[in-house]
Amino acid sequence: MHNPVTPPTVQPKTAKEALEKFTRIVPDFPKPGIVFEDLTPVLADPDCYRVLVHDLADACRDAGADLIGGLDARGFLLGSAVAHELGVGVLAVRKGGKLPPPVHQVHYDLEYGSATLEIPASGIPLDGKRIILIDDVLATGGTLRASQELLEKAGAHVVGLAVVLEVEGLHGRDKLRDLPLYVVAKGDSRSLAQLGVEPKETASGVTVSSHE
């Protein structure tokens, strides 16, 4: 069973309201004991999508970003729209094997196994660029941390993180304490530029390389 999503009759005034009313809650997916929060109805509704993108853009506006980094895959839907609103470019951080060489790669550990992220190693001048990373959900924090490592090894400077939802029980933010983190669902009125950072912890299980 899952909660029904009623088509909106009144436009949501805030992104937090849009999430509370129209996120599809699916228990026991992808396995028993897990509650899956599906953002598809939120993104499919034009008013919900608009306030969500505007909320993220406002959080990022004063951070001085040159690029928005959208994480594969739902981070593309959010990151590209935020970049458009801010008047900056968007960089897609892709899963391994999706880009032609040369690429910068990062290999990182998952709970069971490992994964790879990639960005182009040519054609995009990243040295010194200020980048904000955007994704839909902060879970364990591994993908955001690996993306930060990848971009900084390529010469960029990651200045903040923004996500829509946070699975607090997985303690993903513990891996990301050296960066300001904005979570839409928390309804925080502060922007990334106003949010503080916590003492940096050393990342583990991350290997960065370049391949011609």
Task: Kindly name the residue from 24, 50, 61, 74 that is annotated as catalytic.
Answer: 74
- pLDDT score of 6: 55
- Residue type, position 110, single letter: L
Contact 58, 66 (CB under 8 A): no
Task: Tell me the fold of 15-195.
Answer: Rossmann fold (3.40.50)
- Residue type, position 154, single letter: A
Of 132, 126, 128, nearest to 144 (Cα)? 132
Whether residue 130 lies in the annotated active site:
no
- pLDDT score of 32: 92
Whether residue 190 lies in the annotated active site:
no
Contact 49, 42 (CB under 8 A): yes
* Number of Cβ atoms within 10 Å of the Cβ of 74: 17
- pLDDT score of 204: 47
- pLDDT score of 199: 45
Q: d(Cα 123, Cα 84) in Å, to the nearest integer? A: 20
Helices 15-22, 46-60: axis angle to 10 degrees equals 140
Q: Where are the domains of the chain?
A: 15-195
- Residue type, position 173, single letter: R
Contact 60, 81 (CB under 8 A): no
Of 182, 126, 136, nearest to 157 (Cα)? 126
pLDDT tens sequence for the chain (212 residues) = 455 555 556 789 999 999 999 999 999 998 898 889 999 999 999 999 999 999 999 999 999 999 999 999 999 999 999 999 999 999 999 999 999 999 999 999 987 789 999 999 999 999 999 999 999 999 999 999 999 999 999 999 999 999 999 998 889 999 999 999 999 999 888 999 998 765 444 444 666 666 65
